Structure 1
Amino acid sequence: MKEGILLCGHGTRKTAGVDEFKKLVEILKDRYKDNYEVDYGFLEFNHPLYEASVERLYSKGIRKIYALPVILFAGSHAKNDIPYELNTIQSYYPDLEIKMASPIGVNSFVLDLAKKRIEETELNLSPLDRKETCLVVVGRGTTDPDANSDVTKLMGMLWEGMGFGFATTAFSGTAYPSVEQSLAMVEKLGFKRTIVIPFFFFTGILLDRIYAALEEKNSLSSQEFIYTAPFGTDELMLKAFDSRLEQAINGEGNMNCQLCKYRRQIIGFEDEVGKEQIGHHLNVKGVLYEEDEKVGEKKNSIGSQFKKLLGI
C-alpha cells in the first residue's frame, strides 16, 4: 500500500509566499510520486489545514503518513504546534500512523545552499576581498534559544569557511538583535560591504520587512548593504528534505532534547521545563480562506462565492 507525505507549512498573509510554497509542493510531489502520495497543509492563516490534508490522504487509502515540517529550525512551531496538531488528528483515526520528521535544522545541505546564495550575489558586485566584507545571517527568531543557536552555528561555519572579515546574526522577530539593531552595530565596524542572507524558504511579510530595512540602511549609509535571495526550491534544499524523510522512515527523526528548554533547565528559561505541549495558533487557523482547498466542498458554488465575499 502506498504511503503518504504531508508537507507541513506555516502559512503567510502574503499570496506570493503561498504560491512559492505550492511550487515546492508540486516539485516534491513529482520527486516522490513513485512511492508516496504527497499533500500539504498550513498551521495558520491559509487553507488547507493539516486536518483537511490528512482527510484527503486517508480517503485515498493512506494509512501511514510522514509529516515533513517545511520549517528550518526547531522552535516552538516544530516542538509544540505541529506535533500538537498531528497528535490530535491521529486520534481521530485508530488505524492511521503519523510519523513526524525533524525540521531541516543544521546540516551540510543548508550550509552549501547558503554559500551558493552568497556567491550568486557576489557575482553581481564589484570585486572586494571578503576580509573587507561583513556577513549577517538573519533567522526568523523564536522564544527558543535552541533554535536561535542553530542560526548562530551556521553563521559561524559560513564565517570561517568563506573567510569574511566579520559575521553576526540578526532576527526578524522575537529574538535579539533585530535586523535594524544588528545593522546599526555592524555599520559602526566600518566594513565597506555587508552581505545579508535571510534564512527563509520563501517570500513573505517578514522577508519584505528585512529587505525594506536594508533598503533604508543603504539610503542613509555610505557603506554598502546587500541582500541575497531566500533559499527557495533549490536542489540542495530538496536533498535536505530527502534526508529528513529517510530519518522519519527509519525512526531517527529526533530533535536536540539535551538543549531543549522544555526538557532541561536552560539558563534564563527555567520556568519552561515540563511545559504542556499545546498549540498556539488556534485563533488564526485558516483565517485567510482558500475555498477551493476545502475537502469535500464544490468549487465556485454559490455558498463558496458567498464565503469569499464575506472573507470567511
Structure 2
Amino acid sequence: MKEGILLCGHGSRRAAAVTSFKRLVTVLKERYEDKYEVDYGFLEFNHPTYEAAVERMYLNGVRKIYALPVILFAGSHAKNDIPFELNTLQTYHDDLTISMAKHIGVSSFLLDLAVKRITETEAKLTPLDRKETCLIVVGRGTTDPDANSDVAKLMNMLWEGLGFGFATVGYSGTAYPNVKESLELVNKLGFKRTIIIPFFFFTGVLLERIYGAVAAMHEKSEHEYIYTDPFGTDELILKAFDERLDEAKNGMANMNCQMCKYRKQVVGFEEYLGQEQMGHHLNVKGVLFEEDEKPGETKGGISNTIKKILGI
C-alpha cells in the first residue's frame, strides 16, 4: 500500500511565514521521500487546503496518510480544527485511511533545541552568571489550560536545568500573562539580563509582535533584554517529527486526555466538557492566494477573480 505524509500547517497572512513553512516541507520531503509521498496543506488563509492536498495524494495512489501537525502545543487547532478537517476528508474515500499524529508537545528534542537556542544567544553576549539572568519562555497561548501548562512545564525544566536566577512564561495571545505583562513584571525584579525564547517554528505576525515588545523594553529599561531565534528546521525539530511519525505508524499517537477540558471537568472550564468537535476556520480557509502574498503585484484581474470564484 502506498503511504503518504500530510504536513498540516496553520497558515499565515505573512508571506515570510509561509515561505518558512514551505522550507520545512522541502526538508521533510527530502527526509521521507524514499518511503512516503509528502504533501502539505494549510488550515487557514493559504493554499493548498488540506482537502486539495489529500485529493492530490489520493489521485497519486496514496491510500494511507499520516497527518503530522506542524504545531507545538495542543490547543484548539490540534484538538478540534485539524481533527475535524481530517475526519471530514476521511469520509470522501472508502479505501483511504488517515491517521493523525500527535503535536510536538513536551518533547526531549524540543527541550534540547530550546537549550541550543539559549546557549547560541548567550554565546553572542558578554559573559554573565546565569543567576543574574532571567528567562522568559513565550508560547502561542490558547484558551486551553492543558496546552498552556505544557509551556510552563518546559519553562520550569529549563529554569532548573540551566540554573537561571528566575524564569517565567508569557503568551502572545489569549492566555495570561501576555508578553508585555511578563516583561513588565521581570523588569521590576532587577535582573541584569533577560533572555526571551519564543516557542515558535517560524516568523509571522505573532513573532513580530513578540520581538517588537522585547525591543521596546530593551530600549526603555536599564537592563538587557535579548530574544532568541525561532526553532526553524533544526535537526532536533526534525527528530521530534520522526518520533511523532513513528508513534502514528504504531498506533501510539495518544493525546494528553487526563487534563483535557473536553474530556475532564477542569476548574474554570466546566462548560467545555463533552463539547462537540468542530472546526472554527471554515470562513478563512484558503482565502489568500499566491498572488496576494507577493508584494508589488496586481491583485485584481479576470484570471484572479475566476480563481477566487472556483476556489483554486
1:140 aligns with 2:140: yes
* Match runs of 1:144-163 below 5 Å: 144-163=144-163
1:73–1:104 CA contact under 8 A, matched in 2: yes
Q: Flag structure 2 segments of 5+ consecutive residues without an equivalent.
A: 293-300
| SS at 2:280 equivalent | coil
1:212 aligns with 2:219: no
TM superposition score normalised by structure 2? 0.94
2:194 counterpart letter in structure 1: T
Equivalent residue, structure 2, for 1:299: none
1:19 counterpart letter in structure 2: T
- CA offset digits 1:72-112 (Å, max 9, x no partner): 01111000000000000111111110000000000100000
Q: Give, in angstroms, the shift of residue 306 of structure 1.
A: 4.5
2:193 counterpart letter in structure 1: R
1:48–1:290 CA contact under 8 A, matched in 2: no
- CA offset digits 1:124-179 (Å, max 9, x no partner): 10010000000000000000000000000000000000000000000000000000
2:195 counterpart letter in structure 1: I
Equivalent residue, structure 2, for 1:289: 289
1:252 aligns with 2:252: yes
Q: Flag structure 1 segments of 5+ consecutive residues without an equivalent.
A: 293-301
Equivalent residue, structure 1, for 2:242: 242
- CA offset digits 1:197-239 (Å, max 9, x no partner): 0000000000000000011111111010000000000000000
1:25 aligns with 2:42: no
1:266 counterpart letter in structure 2: V
Equivalent residue, structure 2, for 1:4: 4
* Match runs of 1:1-312 below 5 Å: 1-290=1-290, 304-307=303-306
- CA offset digits 1:233-277 (Å, max 9, x no partner): 000000000000000000000101110000000010011000000
| SS at 2:258 equivalent | helix
Q: Output the CA distance in 2 between the equivalents of 1:96 and 1:30.
A: 24
Q: Output the CA distance in 2 between the equivalents of 1:277 and 1:54.
A: 21
Q: Output the CA distance in 1 between the equivalents of 2:195 and 2:44.
A: 31
RMSD of equivalent CA atoms? 1.5
Q: Output the CA distance in 2 between the equivalents of 1:166 and 1:273.
A: 35
Call closer, same or farther: CA 1:259–1:167 in 2, change over 3 Å: same
Call closer, same or farther: CA 1:66–1:309 in 2, change over 3 Å: closer
1:8–1:68 CA contact under 8 A, matched in 2: yes
Q: Give, in angstroms, the shift of residue 42 of structure 1.
A: 0.3
1:262–1:275 CA contact under 8 A, matched in 2: yes
Q: Count how many residue pairs are aligned between Structure 1 and Structure 2.
A: 302
State the 4+ residue runs in structure 1 displaced beyond 3 angstroms.
302-310
Q: Give, in angstroms, the shift of residue 283 of structure 1.
A: 1.1
1:138–1:196 CA contact under 8 A, matched in 2: yes
1:181 counterpart letter in structure 2: E
1:13 counterpart letter in structure 2: R
TM superposition score normalised by structure 1? 0.94
Identical aligned residues as a percent: 71
Q: Give, in angstroms, the shift of residue 307 of structure 1.
A: 4.8
